[in-house]
Amino acid sequence: MPEMTGGEALVQSLKVEGVNTIFGLPGVQLDWAFDALWRARDEIRVLNTRHEQATAYMADGFARTTGKVGTALVVPGPGLLNATGALSTAYACNSPVLMVSGQVQSDLIESGRGLLHEIPNQLGMVRSVTKWAGRAMTPQEVPGLVHHAFRELQSGRRRPVEIEVPPDVLQKKADVTLLEPYQPDRERPDTDLIEQAARALGQAERPLIFSGGGVPGSGAWEELQRLAELLGAPVIMTENGRGALSDRHPLGMTPLVSPVLTPEADVILAVGTRFLQPLTMPWGPKAGQTVIRLDIDPEEITRVARPDIGIAGDAKLGLAELAERVQRHNRTRPSRAEEFAALKAEATAQLNSIEPQAGYALAIREELPEDGIFVSEMTQVGYWSRQGFPVYQPRTFVGAGYQGTLGFGFGTALGVAVGNPDRKVVSINGDGGFGYQMSELATLMKHGITNLVTIVFNDSAYGNVRRIQRQQFNEQILGSELLNPDFVKLAEAFGMNGARATSPQELRRHLHAALADGQPTLIEVPLGEVPSIWGISLKRA
């Protein structure tokens, strides 16, 4: 049994689990972890940020677009609290983020003395934004803690996990046994239930599929496509599910078509999705329609309503097995190709008539390669993009999910870019959201993150809020107007290229140049008040 510090036990255990990148921000409780990271610096890259929120956002962006665990490292108390908005986003988006945090000295936890960074009940606090959280109190416990963390991160529903190690435990030397890496195993769905579902789908005249973040999350897009094609079933993808089927695929749809297609379907399969909107809208499933749910999280299957067939298990295994068995029951159906093409065309026409959002978003799409990754934000072009931005490949559209976290985008995009060095990444931001993480321009430059282009739509406002105050509250503009820096000069102050675009054509030109020459670039797009996209509703043409 080799002798090592708790810090070495932590770093070696992370290495065993395949961690090669850590997004971190140091401090005194982490000194012995950084000591060990220094010795492991050829195998584990440490990227420091300017605020702890960015460590967890970067880990989330890294995780969601690579399928690997994303790892963050922060000091306890305020450091960890600073990261909780990002953890809540990762929680909402089923993202396997490992948050490693410090603690106060082990024998004084919960003493209430007011030690540096002490907060009461840190584990309890972080449990509200994680799937699981645990602590090691000796160096010998560290490998088991990391191993358990990876079990939680890579089994069942993927969500963030926190582990914490007090500074004296990181410093202490002991004989430590390292463990083998956790071997993830996919959870096989019940065969009888799959057979029942396959029969219902096979016999359906008008089957419909709702597909959520669980499909890209479990790497199930090929199985989804196979099943959809066998059934000729349209696939409605949620924001987190976008790209599972290419928007070019005749069956690939965005939720705009749900109110039209859902009432007409006889059998509906919802896979890897909370299925919340359909279940709570007037156009949602009614008695007489068969609802099948396939989800890794059994609680999700019955949370809002009990489906006719509920199947707990992995989406990739479940969809593969469904496709296999559907063939024994599958009826022939008249082609609906024309109907779907017309519906898609109508949805596209409605969305593309909303300007200037459509023009700007489509300018980005024109320049971003097919495998390029688009990181959205809670901004006007972002809302439009949820449904309107064409997505051609899985894991190439990143949003904030149900958390709707303003300011998540830029840090998340930095992590996406680090995790996908061979791909181009575009981060869109409002001036409000960008303000949350603009100091991370330093992180971009320091770590040479050159495959990311950053766009800031500047309307000098929390535009969404201002529009509501104007229109619904009789011009009571309060707390929604913003004073901004000159974004072009800001970029230049960080040593980046700064550019300004006042039309979609200009945005396209700047984006083209920035993507081609790989120079870190921020493009500001001044914007006036833009129309709301809420309230578009699709009727059949």
Ligand X SMILES: Cc1ncc(C[n+]2csc(CCOP(=O)(O)OP(=O)(O)O)c2C)c(N)n1
- Interface residues with ligand X (CB under 6 A) are 378-380, 404-406, 430-433, 457, 459, 461-465
Whose Cβ is closer to ligand X: residue 261's or residue 453's? 453
Q: What are phi and psi of 45, to 5 degrees?
A: -90, 130
The least distance separating ligand X from the CB of residue 431, rounded to whole angstroms, comes to 4
The least distance separating Mg ion from the CB of residue 430, rounded to whole angstroms, comes to 4
Whose Cβ is closer to ligand X: residue 317's or residue 527's? 527
Stretch that binds Mg ion, among 128-136, 174-182, 198-206, 432-440 (CB under 5 A): 432-440
473 token code pair:
């509250």
Whose Cβ is closer to ligand X: residue 100's or residue 129's? 129
Beta pairing partners, 523: 455, 499
| Cα angle, residue 182 at apex, residues 181 and 187 outer, rounded to 5° | 155
User: Which of ligand X, Mg ion, none lies near 211, with the C-beta cut-off 5 to 8 A by kind?
Assistant: none
The least distance separating Mg ion from the CB of residue 431, rounded to whole angstroms, comes to 4
User: Which of Mg ion, ligand X, none lies near 465, with the C-beta cut-off 5 to 8 A by kind?
Assistant: ligand X
Residue 456: name the closest of 535, 381, 374 by CA. 381
Residue with the CB atom nearest Mg ion in the bound state? 430
Among 313, 435, 463, 504, binds Mg ion (CB under 5 A): 463
The least distance separating Mg ion from the CB of residue 480, rounded to whole angstroms, comes to 9
The least distance separating Mg ion from the CB of residue 433, rounded to whole angstroms, comes to 8
**Cβ atoms 222, 345 nearer than 8 A:** no
At 282, is the secondary structure helix, strand, or coil? coil
Whose Cβ is closer to Mg ion: residue 139's or residue 432's? 432
Residue 381: name the closest of 345, 344, 430 by CA. 430
Whose Cβ is closer to ligand X: residue 260's or residue 413's? 413
Whose Cβ is closer to ligand X: residue 2's or residue 404's? 404
Neighbours of 472 (CB within 10 A): 8
Using CA atoms, how far apart are residues 82 and 75, in angstroms rounded to an integer?
A: 10
Using CA atoms, how far apart are residues 127 and 149, in angstroms rounded to an integer?
A: 13
Element (H, E) at 373: strand 373-375
Residue 135: name the closest of 162, 107, 171, 175 by CA. 162
Among 430, 435, 498, 504, binds Mg ion (CB under 5 A): 430
Using CA atoms, how far apart are residues 312 and 299, in angstroms rounded to an integer?
A: 9
The least distance separating Mg ion from the CB of residue 466, rounded to whole angstroms, comes to 8
The least distance separating ligand X from the CB of residue 432, rounded to whole angstroms, comes to 3
Among 223, 247, 459, 524, binds Mg ion (CB under 5 A): 459
Q: Which amino acid is at 334?
A: P
User: Which of ligand X, Mg ion, none lies near 406, with the C-beta cut-off 5 to 8 A by kind?
Assistant: ligand X
Q: What are phi and psi of 449, to 5 degrees?
A: -85, 85
Contacts with Mg ion by CB under 5 A lie at 430-432, 459, 461, 463
